[in-house]
């Protein structure tokens, strides 16, 4: 078996092995994003994911929103 086929096979196996962890992380991030949108408005999570809003001194003043922004940033 040529080496490139062997590497592709190993990469595909590693990709499939990591898929459940990746999908769980995405589901977690989407859940936190939905919570933030429910509290702060429909585009709040998109602003955080897009890097427009972030936790910090100039972040959201509302403590509940700031907490969810931080959780989404971590997710």
* Rounded Cα gap, residues 35 and 65, in angstroms: 9
Tens of pLDDT along 20-52?
Answer: 999 999 999 888 888 888 877 777 777 777 666
What is the overall mean pLDDT for the chain?
A: 78
pLDDT at residue 6 above 60? yes
Instruction: Confirm if 40 and 62 have CB atoms less than 8 A apart.
Output: yes
How many structural domains compose the chain? 1
Give the domain range for residue 17.
3-74
Confidence (pLDDT) at 23? 95
* Cα 20 to Cα 16, 25, 26, 38, 44, distances in angstroms: 8, 9, 10, 27, 27
pLDDT mean over 6-23: 91
Confidence (pLDDT) at 40? 77
Provide the whole-model pTM.
0.62
């Amino acid at each position: 078996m040529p080496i490139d086929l062997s590497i592709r096979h190993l990469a595909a196996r590693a990709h499939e092995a990591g898929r459940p962890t990746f999908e769980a992380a995405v589901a977690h991030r989407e859940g936190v994003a939905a919570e933030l949108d429910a509290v702060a408005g429909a585009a709040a999570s998109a602003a955080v994911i897009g890097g427009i809003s972030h936790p910090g001194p100039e972040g959201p003043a509302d403590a509940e929103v700031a907490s969810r922004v931080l959780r989404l940033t971590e997710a």
